[in-house]
Chains A and B, each alone.
Chain A
Amino acid sequence: MRKLLFLLGTLLFITGCAQERIVEDLGFIHSAAYELNESENAEKEGKLIMTITLPQIAPTAEDKLTLTTTANTSKEGRTQLSRQTERVLVSGQLRTALFSDNLARVGFLDTIDTLKRDHSIGLNVKIIVVNGSSKELLMGEYPQHPRIGRYIYEMIEKEAQTHVTVDTTLYEFIRDYHDDGIDPIVPLIKKGKEELILNGIGLLKGDQLVMEVHPKDGRVFKMLHGDYLGGTITKEIHLKNEPKEDDYLYISFNTLESKRKVMVKSPSEIQVNLEVKGGIDEYTGHLELTEDEVQKEIEKDLAKYIKEIGEKLIKEMQEKQTDSLGFGQYVRNQSSYNSWKKMNWKEEVYPDAKITFNIDVKLKGFGSVK
């Protein structure tokens, strides 16, 4: 009996040796970038330019490891990249997936396929679109930020909190792609001289990038997109009784709080009610902000501004046939199942739909001065 137990015990313990994974030997892919190969012999070389970064233990520039190759698919690329390093490449720590806009414009769901298929990849991988070459972006030298993978990840995360952009995860991307009443949105970044710059929000139709929202309009876009807290808007302002004579007149609203309500009157008539609250944290004019009249005028002015930007954005979205704000979901839920299935929402109804905004702005405060 004792021998049997010993044998069983040994058997149990040696299972640990079945699949060894030693951390030092592994290359954790932190960011993977994909780009469409537009060179002449793309057929021969492979259609994708794939670049990956591996985080290093010592954060010095010499230590940075970025590998690149050309292949037809992501996993083929990984096999080729593996030939360039002594470490075993694993994708369990993948945090960001970058796609060049040339690839995003033709559609990149095929490339994303491997991300959702691979069990080791989490659903919280951030999907990012790069204006320009994603290879150059990852290969670039950023002396202030040697850990490029983390730099990208944290920048997107931080900027999404102030609603300049979004931090779309793999889960959200696939979810909205498969939903027939909404289109996915992605953050856009580009390469600066020695830094990365956030470049707004990319709107997709299906899996194709069709429109870009300027970072300045990002907050208004997010107001139209759903309920969010945080973010700022700075704009020029000319109030009625402004005593100041020069043109240097600006106002900034901070910690904006926005609530959206979508009312579907008919599939082709949608009203969006927005409730916006914000505080003033910068004002270069000379008027007394404590006066009710002035506050009301500022509220009205901001509402007008949001409406203008909103209308501009929605007009472009309708032209590009991208329903990034998810109005389709509301129309769907107001219709009967059969009429929704018959309705060609995105191509026929939505582009000509009458979408109106009803904006109610309230000032929460104006800082610690009178």
Chain B
Amino acid sequence: MTEKIHFTQLAVIVYMIQSGIILFGLPRIVAEAFGTNAWLAIIGLSGIVLINLYLIILVYKRGNGKSMFVILEDGLPKLILYPLYVYLIVSFGLLGVLVAKNYALLVQLTMFPDINPNLLLAYFLIVAMFFVSKGIYNMAKITVICFFFTIWTIFLLVLVVPEFSFVRLTPFIFQDALDPFGSGLDAYSAFLGFELTLFLIPYIQRDGTFGKAIVVGHIFTTFIYTAVCFMAMGFFSLDQLRATLYPTQEILKFMETPVIERIENFVFGVFMLKIIVTTVFYHWAALEITKQLFKKTKKTKLLFFLFFSTFSIATIPTIQREVNEWFAIVVNPYIFFVFCFPLLLLLLLWIKSKQAGREKDIA
């Protein structure tokens, strides 16, 4: 019996890839985008993602659990296929590594101001490389462990309940929105990661729970995001929230427990596990495509080369602003692409089935 990814594992993977470093800034981003009571907007954004997820589930159903690569290679000429592969490798590689670089810069900014962030990044990527080298089934298991190591942090929100005030939340909905489109797109990018499930299709249990698993994972992310933003908006006043770069981190900074004060450095360390899962899965997806391109090359060589190149690229931006600029360049077209990609796959499947139908008729 061959190993398969279980329902729960898949749901956890979806959540772990989605939520990452953006959680630290998310309350500010939505407040900038949508103004008062912006936490409600998370639910709206999540709805758009659900439509996207529905398309992915359709791909799974229509394709009968066929690998995405099979669908693509059957339906597309190489002239289109290879540039598409290259685009995907570049996007995945950059997304994965920029998230890591952002984390390294944040660590430098908040904890070790005189350490070279590239050193941190190098260590981080070495761990990530070993992680990816274990293969998808082991990656799924490690992700579940990482999930249990990090999920308790959500209960820390209870510590700020005494400071929460409904009066501060105001009864206004989406007033004083500064940048609904630009920052809204940023907020939407917080949900990215679900698209990688397309790559997981051949590895999951064929018991029809694929759709349920990714929706459950996504709903869980939505819940976490909404809870954090809701708490932040009752904890900070609106203008204060907008003036705070990483509100979630500030909330952690505020917490005092009888045992530890300034809990945020500890939680920040734990958060590394979330970031690493995001980085790892994007690299894994990039590696999967690279394998399609270089079918004869040894896997370990490809792996090493992939990580080496993403690392080399990530050393170029040296400050957070540059990283964010790069990120925006990669992520904005990518969001659009992610939405259309399942449509493309569905189209290919449809053409295929039409062809098959016609062949049957002729026969």
Partners in one complex: yes
| Residue ranges of A at the interface with B (Cβ–Cβ < 8 Å) | 8, 11-12, 15, 18-19, 92, 119, 122-124, 171, 174-180, 326, 329-330, 332-333, 337
Q: Which residues of B contact A124 (CB under 8 A)?
A: 254, 256, 261
Is the Cβ of B253 less than 8 Å from the Cβ of A123?
Answer: yes
Is the Cβ of A171 less than 8 Å from the Cβ of B254?
Answer: yes
- B148 adjacent to chain A (CB < 8 Å): no
A11 to B120 Cα, complex, angstroms? 11
- B294 adjacent to chain A (CB < 8 Å): no
Q: Which residues of B contact A332 (CB under 8 A)?
A: 170
Is the Cβ of A15 less than 8 Å from the Cβ of B262?
Answer: no
Question: Do A333 and B115 form a contact, CB below 8 Å, given A119-B109, A122-B262, A178-B240?
Answer: no
Chain A: minimal CB distance from B81 (Å) = 37
Question: Do A329 and B262 form a contact, CB below 8 Å, given A123-B253, A174-B240, A179-B240?
Answer: no
- B175 adjacent to chain A (CB < 8 Å): yes
A19 to B243 Cα, complex, angstroms? 30
Q: Which one of B112, B170, B238 lies within 8 Å of A19 (CB-CB)?
A: B112
Q: Which residues of B contact A11 (CB under 8 A)?
A: 123
Q: Which one of A8, A122, A123, A178 lies within 8 Å of B239 (CB-CB)?
A: A178
A296 to B168 Cα, complex, angstroms? 38
- B297 adjacent to chain A (CB < 8 Å): no
- B236 adjacent to chain A (CB < 8 Å): yes
Is the Cβ of B250 less than 8 Å from the Cβ of A123?
Answer: yes
B93-127 residues at the A interface, CB under 8 angstroms: 109-110, 112, 114-115, 119, 123, 126
Least CB separation from B241: chain A residue: A178
A332 to B168 Cα, complex, angstroms? 10
Is the Cβ of B253 less than 8 Å from the Cβ of A122?
Answer: yes
Is the Cβ of A333 less than 8 Å from the Cβ of B243?
Answer: no
A21 to B237 Cα, complex, angstroms? 36
Is the Cβ of A18 less than 8 Å from the Cβ of B112?
Answer: yes
A123 to B126 Cα, complex, angstroms? 35
A7 to B235 Cα, complex, angstroms? 47
Is the Cβ of B262 less than 8 Å from the Cβ of A19?
Answer: no
Least CB separation from A177: chain B residue: B240
Chain B: minimal CB distance from A330 (Å) = 7
B192-249 residues at the A interface, CB under 8 angstroms: 235-240, 243
Q: Which residues of B contact A15 (CB under 8 A)?
A: 119, 123
- B155 adjacent to chain A (CB < 8 Å): no
A333 to B163 Cα, complex, angstroms? 19
Q: Which residues of B contact A18 (CB under 8 A)?
A: 112, 114-115, 119
A-B pairs with beta carbons under 8 Å apart, 22 shown: A11-B123, A15-B123, A18-B112, A18-B114, A19-B112, A19-B114, A122-B254, A122-B262, A123-B250, A123-B254, A171-B254, A175-B235, A178-B239, A178-B243, A179-B168, A179-B238, A179-B239, A180-B239, A333-B167, A333-B170, A333-B171, A337-B172
Chain A: minimal CB distance from B123 (Å) = 7
User: What is the 8 Å Cβ interface bit string for chain B, positions 116-160, against chain A (1 contact, 0 not)?
Assistant: 000100010010000000000000000000000000000000000
B171-189 residues at the A interface, CB under 8 angstroms: 171-172, 175-176
Least CB separation from A172: chain B residue: B163
Q: Which of A123, A177, A326 has the most CB of B within 10 A?
A: A123
Chain A: minimal CB distance from B258 (Å) = 14
Least CB separation from B240: chain A residue: A178
Q: Which residues of A contact B236 (CB under 8 A)?
A: 175, 178
Chain A: minimal CB distance from B232 (Å) = 12
Least CB separation from B239: chain A residue: A178
Q: Which residues of A contact B262 (CB under 8 A)?
A: 92, 122
Chain B: minimal CB distance from A212 (Å) = 25
Q: Give 8 closest A-B pairs by Cβ, nearest first.
A: A179-B237, A178-B240, A178-B239, A337-B175, A123-B254, A337-B172, A178-B237, A119-B110
Chain B: minimal CB distance from A339 (Å) = 11
A19 to B107 Cα, complex, angstroms? 13
Q: Which residues of A contact B163 (CB under 8 A)?
A: 171
Least CB separation from B109: chain A residue: A119
Question: Do A122 and B261 form a contact, CB below 8 Å, given A12-B123, A176-B237, A178-B243?
Answer: yes
A11 to B261 Cα, complex, angstroms? 31
A358 to B176 Cα, complex, angstroms? 35
Chain A: minimal CB distance from B167 (Å) = 5
Least CB separation from B235: chain A residue: A175
Q: Which residues of A contact B235 (CB under 8 A)?
A: 175
A326 to B168 Cα, complex, angstroms? 10
Chain B: minimal CB distance from A367 (Å) = 31
Least CB separation from A171: chain B residue: B254
